[in-house]
Amino acid sequence: MLPFISVIVITKNNAKTVENCIVSLLNQTYPKENYEIIFVDGYSIDGTDKVIKKYSRDHSFLKLYYENYGTMGYARNLGISKSRGDIIAFTDGDAVLPEDWVERIVKAFNNVQLVAVGGLDVIVSSDESGSIIDSWRRLRKAEGVKAIPCIKTVNFAVRRDAVLSCGGFDPMLNHLDEAELLARLYSRTKAGNILYDPEIIVCHKRPQSTKIGRRIKKVFKKSLVGTSVLMRRYMMTVAIENPISPLATSFYLILACIIAIPLFLFSIAMGLFTSILMFTLLLYLVILSIYIVHMFLKTRKVTLFIPLILTTDCVVRFAGTFFGLIKWFRNFVCARMTLGWTKCSEDKEFKRGIE
């Protein structure tokens, strides 16, 4: 007997792309009676919901719900609360799914030990450099803790009982919501039951990021908001057990921020500022070269803009992480003072939107 699948699509102001997403979901090779499509719209103002309603009138298994909480985590939880599938798959309103997408997900879950599976999102953009950088780390199959940093909610599925058992997504998060959920799932089981399979593919049409200002703003905001999430115990566990992952790299940036100020003051006091600065730049150039070589070996592509984008991203991420760390420390102290420095459980239930 085939399992019933719920496909949850988060969308907001995707009027230009949502129709292609809907058509690709309606054309799945998986039997129509065995899956449903649930759109959660953040009160779009560009007519996205009108496009969805047009198709829902002719397809009873396509449903539309609204949310005004304003976060991805909450929207996904709302979708879960309205779903009835044994397996819950997630994608976005600017994605296009191959016709065998649901079928491939179901096939992966034939492994009864599997809790969650994710795949590759191929970035459809004229900005080739950005597309290469966004995808090059995720071209190889990974399991367990090594799969967590690779999985994105544009191409992700989880067993219903597993996601409900840990309370769903954190409703406060717009960034790292999938990694945070998977880290909590992993911390409960400590087993290799999370799979990243790059053969499960979606095409993801993101806005063009040729304007450097837009990319800087996006990277800074993600680093600022993501710092407090990374400081959670189970996120640290994932980074420690997978020290070469993007999550671990984010922790290295946090450590660099913690060390930077006293090192800067010490170097000035000792007259070593120029020497330390030159050493830091040399070390960065070595690391950058290793990244570019690694990227080329996987993608066989390198453009002149890649070193520039990587350098800009590194500087902006450092700045975002620095301010995020300050914000986290301030909130940490305020929370402990409010609670009388009592211990707070990190394994809380994130149910807003599910109930």
**Distance (Å, rounded) from C-alpha 171 to C-alpha 155?**
19
Q: What is the pLDDT of residue 332?
A: 76
Quick one: angle between helices 305-338 and 128-135, nearest 10? 50
Q: Give the domain ranges of the chain.
A: 5-209, 214-338
Give the torsion sign (CA, 224, 260, 233, 336): negative
**Distance (Å, rounded) from C-alpha 225 to C-alpha 212?**
20
Q: What is the pLDDT of residue 342?
A: 45
Q: What is the pLDDT of residue 345?
A: 42
Q: Which residue has the higher pLDDT, 294 or 282?
A: 282
Q: What is the pLDDT of residue 344?
A: 42
pLDDT confidence tier of residue 341, bands split at 50, 70 and 90: very low
**Distance (Å, rounded) from C-alpha 120 to C-alpha 102?**
14
Compute the average pLDDT of residues 5-30: 94
Q: Can you read off the two tokens belonging to residue 93?
A: 């309103």
Q: What is the pLDDT of residue 117?
A: 96
145 contacts 238 by C-beta, under 8 angstroms: yes
**Distance (Å, rounded) from C-alpha 178 to C-alpha 72?**
10
Mean predicted lDDT score pLDDT of the chain: 84
Q: What is the pLDDT of residue 132?
A: 65
The model's pLDDT over 61-95, given as tens digits with 9 standing for 90+, comes to 999 999 988 899 999 999 999 999 999 999 999 99
For the chain, helix, strand, coil in percent to 5 are 55, 15, 30
Q: State pTM to two decimals.
A: 0.82
- Write the class of the CATH domain 5-209: alpha beta
The model's pLDDT over 175-201, given as tens digits with 9 standing for 90+, comes to 889 999 999 988 876 666 899 999 999
Q: Can you read off the two tokens belonging to residue 262?
A: 């006293």
The model's pLDDT over 29-66, given as tens digits with 9 standing for 90+, comes to 999 999 999 999 999 999 999 999 999 999 999 999 99
Q: Which residue has the higher pLDDT, 233 or 117?
A: 117
3-state SS, residue 46: coil
For 154, what's the count of Cα atoms within 13 Å in the CB-facing half-sphere? 20
Q: What is the pLDDT of residue 139?
A: 79
Q: Can you read off the two tokens belonging to residue 8?
A: 């949850």
173 contacts 180 by C-beta, under 8 angstroms: yes
Q: Can you read off the two tokens belonging to residue 140?
A: 């190889």
Burial of 17 (0-12, 13-18, 19+ CB in 10 A): buried
Beta bridge partners of 40: 10, 65
pLDDT confidence tier of residue 277, bands split at 50, 70 and 90: confident
